[in-house]
Amino acid sequence: MNIGIDMMGGDYAPLEAAKGILLYLSHAQANVKLTLIGQKHIIDELLHQRIIPTNNIHVVDAQQMIEMHEHPTKAFKEKQQSSISIGFKLLATGKIDAFISAGNTGAMMVGALFSIKAIDGVNRPTIGAYMPRENGKLGVLLDAGINADCKPENLVQFATLGSLFAEHILGIEKPRVGLVNIGEEEGKGNLLAQATHTLLKENSTINFIGNIEGRDILLDKADVMVCDGFTGNVVLKLAESIYDIVQRREIKDEHFERFNFEAYGGVPVLGVAKPVIIGHGVSHAVAFKNMILIAQRMIEKELMQKMKDAFTGNT
């Protein structure tokens, strides 16, 4: 397999990306090749300095960069020689099997949706967020902010996509799906949650456990937690801010360390036809390593095929 990495994406590129690659390669299997995409002279220098070993590494030159503040659609379209645009070209043409970037999130979404496209039957691809539990497990909350307005059918698809991710990538058997709501009983919630509850209950392909409330999001109650992207994004950013507060107050606690969302190494865009992983802008080495590991696992487990099967009914 061949995993493409945007070397220019993220606040600490390319050095943290390079360090992450080194971390990854120290444990990697021999059959994984990495394609490093970015300004060739910079990447060559990293190779020359032996910050990254040269075996199984392929460099693709991309002279342009999409900056963090640029308008996603415009930049993606106009900067054809950017690392993100070239990465998606390589992915679309099968030169790489997965693409990872900690760069401009919007441009990554544009690339995923327009260069790669959604899996047949998926109306709205989604991005999830990990939610840490005290027992060390992770839950996945989705949508985390890509789809601000949702229909009930969208949330049901998020449940399916999230369940497949949780099962095959996080290794959770029969992942429990919870609907984020404002009451435990059926019939509670806004119109979206009420209608979604009915659809989730009828869906026999997932393990729906019912409504969960805000207080359950950080507990090990549901493995996959679905909501619209507005609620999900507010929840994610609130949870992220907890880590900042804990840090400022110099509280040392193993569990609250897990609120350091940067360490999780980005999340895949679920529902597009090929593995695309979007990292946090402030990603450090461990985050890059973890993103490569997730990409590797998505390829090994043939997650894309499993998702396609789920949406054509060939399960």
Contact criterion met (CB below 8 Å) for 83 and 101: yes
Sheet-wide strand order for 98-101: 57-61, 33-38, 2-6, 98-101, 276-278, 267-270, 126-132, 138-142, 224-226, 176-180, 207-212
Site for a second copy in 135-164 (CB under 8 A): 145, 148-149
Contact criterion met (CB below 8 Å) for 99 and 275: yes
Return the residue of 53, 153, 238, 305 that touches a second copy, per CB under 8 A: 238
Return the residue of 67, 77, 255, 315 that touches a second copy, per CB under 8 A: 255
Contact criterion met (CB below 8 Å) for 9 and 278: no
C-alpha closest to that of 85 among 69, 102, 64: 64
Shorter beta-carbon distance to a second copy: residue 158 or 311: 158
Shorter beta-carbon distance to a second copy: residue 134 or 302: 134
Shorter beta-carbon distance to a second copy: residue 113 or 219: 219
Min dist. Cβ of residue 249 to a second copy (A):
6
Q: Count of residues binding a second copy (CB under 8 A)?
A: 40
Contact criterion met (CB below 8 Å) for 310 and 301: no
Q: Does 248 contact a second copy by CB under 8 A? A: yes
Q: Does 245 contact a second copy by CB under 8 A? A: yes
Shorter beta-carbon distance to a second copy: residue 19 or 258: 258
Shorter beta-carbon distance to a second copy: residue 34 or 193: 193
Q: Is the peptide bond before 152 cis (omega within 30 degrees of 0)?
A: no
Q: What number of residues does the chain have?
A: 315
Return the residue of 17, 75, 107, 235 that touches a second copy, per CB under 8 A: 235
Min dist. Cβ of residue 11 to a second copy (A):
17
Q: Does 129 contact a second copy by CB under 8 A? A: no
Residue given tokens 């990465």 in the structure block: 87
Min dist. Cβ of residue 234 to a second copy (A):
4
Site for a second copy in 164-193 (CB under 8 A): 180, 182, 189-191, 193
Binding mask 92-121 for a second copy (x = CB under 8 A): ------------------------------
Site for a second copy in 191-230 (CB under 8 A): 191, 193, 213-219, 227-230
Q: Does 239 contact a second copy by CB under 8 A? A: yes
Q: What distance in Å separates the CA atoms of residue 131 and residue 71, rounded to the nearest whole number? A: 29
Q: Does 249 contact a second copy by CB under 8 A? A: yes
Q: What distance in Å separates the CA atoms of residue 142 and residue 14, rounded to the nearest whole number? A: 29
Which residues in this chain contact a second copy in the complex, by CB under 8 A?
A: 134, 145, 148-149, 180, 182, 189-191, 193, 213-219, 227-231, 233-242, 244-245, 248-249, 251, 253, 255-256
